[in-house]
């Protein structure tokens, strides 16, 4: 069956360090993978999209990698700040480019 797994439900790191979040999937052949941020009581906010033929994408302090052989995406936040504390969701399509399936998220807490 198809499955999306994100590493550990909660991740705590010290301010200034790099946070690395993992998204693994099985039985998908996605054309796209996306990362979202969700704050309590709010809808998810789109951060980055990476295509299957792209290895890496960057946006300010954010970096995403996509390894279709390992079936894994890594999401990095460098020089993390307490304001980065939120739940981060990965999402991918099933190859149809019609709709996304979301992982259950990783709750990141950046400690001052």
Partner 1 sequence: GAGVSQSPSNKVTEKGKDVELRCDPISGHTALYWYRQRLGQGLEFLIYFQGNSAPDKSGLPSDRFSAERTGESVSTLTIQRTQQEDSAVYLCASSQQGVIYGYTFGSGTRLTVV
Q: Which is nearer to partner 1, 83 or 98 (CB)?
A: 98
Three-state DSSP state, 52: coil
Size of residue set near partner 1 by CB under 8 A: 24
Q: Which is nearer to partner 1, 46 or 82 (CB)?
A: 46
Residue from 53, 60, 99, 112 that binds partner 1 (CB under 8 A)? 99
Sites for partner 1 among residues 36-75 (CB under 8 A): 36, 41-47, 49
Residue from 64, 93, 108, 110 that binds partner 1 (CB under 8 A)? 93
Residue from 21, 50, 84, 103 that binds partner 1 (CB under 8 A)? 103
In whole angstroms, how close is the CB of 109 to partner 1 at the nearest point?
A: 16
- Please, what's the b/e burial string for 28-53 (b: 16 or more CB within 10 A of its CB; e: otherwise)? bebebbbbbbbeeeeebeebbebeee
Residue 98's H or E segment, with its range, is: none
What is the C-alpha to C-alpha distance for residues 48 and 91, in angstroms, rounded to an integer? 10
In whole angstroms, how close is the CB of 19 to partner 1 at the nearest point?
A: 19
């Amino acid at each position: 069956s198809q499955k999306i797994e994100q590493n550990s439900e909660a991740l705590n790191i010290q301010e200034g360090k790099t946070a690395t979040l993992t998204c693994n999937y099985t039985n998908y052949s996605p054309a796209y993978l996306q990362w979202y941020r969700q704050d309590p009581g709010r809808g998810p906010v789109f951060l980055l999209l990476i295509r299957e033929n792209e290895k890496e994408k960057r946006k300010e302090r954010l970096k995403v990698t996509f390894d279709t052989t390992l079936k894994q995406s890594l999401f990095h936040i460098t020089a993390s700040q307490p304001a980065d504390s939120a739940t981060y969701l990965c999402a991918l399509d099933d190859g149809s480019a019609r709709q996304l399936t979301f992982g259950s998220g990783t709750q990141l807490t950046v400690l001052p």
